[in-house]
Amino acid sequence: MITGVELTAAESALAERLRDRGVRQLRELELRWLADEADPALIHREDREVELVRRIQRLAAAGVITIPQRWERDCESRRRRGLAPTLPRSIGVVRDAVQPVGFDPVDWPWDPRIWRWLHTCHDELGPRDYERLKRIDEWMAHHRKGDEVPIVPVEERSHDIFALAGVTSRAEKVLGGLVANMRLFGEGRLSLADLRCAAVIPPLAEHRVGDGDTILVAENHATYASLRAHLAMDCGIGAVCWGAGYGFVASIHGLAGRSPAVRRIVYFGDLDYRGLLIPARAGEAARSLGLPSPEPATALYARLIAAGVPQLADSCSEAIAVDLASWLTVEAHCRAAVQLLVEGRRLAQEKVGTTLLGADRDWVAELATQLAGPSMLTAGGVLPP
């Protein structure tokens, strides 16, 4: 990192996630995902787009990332014309290529559970990997009698290992990031069992409405309550769930391993960037768990598009809008969503609430018809050709 640029806590958190991703290049959509994870408050800021651009420019100045010169010129041109900036299509992630001066990993007294694999690949890791691995090793050294250490959630163990007063930021999230990037954790390397911790699945609020093997998930709790009150027993839905916004990306794990198995997951959320991002990220988790990917509740989205009141929201590039909106599968729905995202508008799902659901009961039959046919998504969770 270039010295002289002091990053804020939010910028440092984003920088950590960019490095932990373990890739040299990142697309705009992935950059947005990481920015949201690093600073959830950013999602609700009115100046979200401008602030995210500012953070990207500062990370580039700090030597954390590289940005296209053409994009920098475009930002300046838009600024002179009084236009809001847009994000680059992609960025480069700078990875440290040399070890810290004076540190030879061979000379460190590693725990055998680390050295058994580290000695074969120590030249693959960067300075930050070693900083964190040393912290893990120190924790393991103080807890040699592993069986006497209680098993705790990953976030609690992460805090135990990495939290330093006045130094660290979001220490409770570090271990989860290390597990995800698979440089220190994975087959033949460290495991959560080595650190006496385990992933905890957040609970998924659920109300049974029938005997079906399909789950209907609502992003927000008000819509969850209204759907629960108006769903018919014979519509093919077994249960309606509250996804709790972005929490569904984690709580979807609770649907794995059920008996009988969940056959379909139908999702209904806001028509905005975050509302479409949630099923995309939940779909990634579903595929890793062997679950069906969430598919759109087309009857409910049709009513939201027809009756929804466009409100102000952050805009995004047309490429990102098309990428996110393609999940809706119905061409008219995709077009409507792309227009909303590009223009900086959103439709809140609360419009499709108690009043509309009670007055227009056709949506129940339309939902049942959708469930009677094959999923509009392929087994891989993407649109069919």
Distance, CA of 328 to CA of 382 (rounded, Å): 11
Distance, CA of 66 to CA of 52 (rounded, Å): 15
Question: In 3D, which of 19, 100, 30 has the Cα closest to residue 65?
Answer: 19
The pLDDT assigned to 12 comes to 84
Q: Which residues of the chain have pLDDT under 50?
A: 1-3, 97-102, 378-385
The pLDDT assigned to 182 comes to 73
Distance, CA of 72 to CA of 107 (rounded, Å): 45
CA distances from 25 to 32, 86, 156, 247 (A): 14, 18, 31, 27
- The owner of tokens 């290049």 is 25
Distance, CA of 143 to CA of 366 (rounded, Å): 58
Please spell the DSSP secondary structure of 69-109, one letter per residue: HHHHHHHHHHHHTTPPP---SEEEE----SPPTT--GGGS-
The pLDDT assigned to 242 comes to 96
The pLDDT assigned to 355 comes to 95
The pLDDT assigned to 349 comes to 97
- pTM higher than 0.75 for the full model? no
Q: Which amino acid, residue 53? A: V
The pLDDT assigned to 2 comes to 46
Q: Give residue-wise pLDDT tens across range 68-97.
A: 888 888 888 888 888 778 888 888 888 654
- CA torsion 309→311→313→316, rounded to 10°? 50
